[in-house]
Amino acid sequence: MKRLVVASLALALGGCAIVPQNRRARLADPMMSLAQDPLEAHRKQKLYSTREGAAGGDGLAAGGGCGCQ
């Protein structure tokens, strides 16, 4: 757990260099989006949350809202 915290802090601190707006063309490509299409995200959540006891908890409540969770 400590390693994860250190890794996430290193990730955050490593990003302190500002990327100017005029150099973000590649970041604006839909392929670079870290957020999935919400309907596909739900499909994916359905696949895992009803088949793995360790699913959920990241972004939305783990369990609840469905009889099979």
Partner 1 sequence: MRKRAARSALLALSLAIVARPAAAEDARPSAPLFNDADILEKPRPYFQIESIALRYSRFDQSGTGYQSRAGKPGQPGSEEMRVEQPQLEVTARQGTHLTHRIWVPVDIVTAASPDAIDVVSGSSRRNEAASFDWTATYARDRTTASIRNGLHNEENYRSWNTGLAGSRSFAEDNTVLSAGVNVVVDWFDRYLIDGTNAGHNARSSLNFNAGLTQLLSPTTVAHVDYGFTLQEGQLSNGWNIVPTPQGAFQLENLPPLRRRHAFVARIAQHLPWSGALHGSYRFYVDDWGIVAHSLEAELHQRLASFARLRFNYRYHTQAGADFFRTSVPLGAPIFATADSDLAPLHAHTVGVKGTFDFAVPFARTLHADVAVERYFRSNDLRVSVYSCGLGLLF
Closest approach of partner 1 to the CB of residue 7, in Å? 7
Q: Is 2 in the site for partner 1 (CB under 8 A)?
A: no
Task: Tell me the CA distances in angstroms from 55 to 10, 40, 47, 51, 58, one per residue in order.
Answer: 26, 16, 10, 8, 9
Among the listed residues 69, 37, 66, the one whose alpha carbon sits nearest the alpha carbon of residue 50: 69
Q: Is 24 in the site for partner 1 (CB under 8 A)?
A: yes
The footprint of partner 1 (CB under 8 A) covers: 1, 4, 7-8, 11-12, 14-21, 23-27, 29-34, 37-40, 42-43, 46-48, 50-69
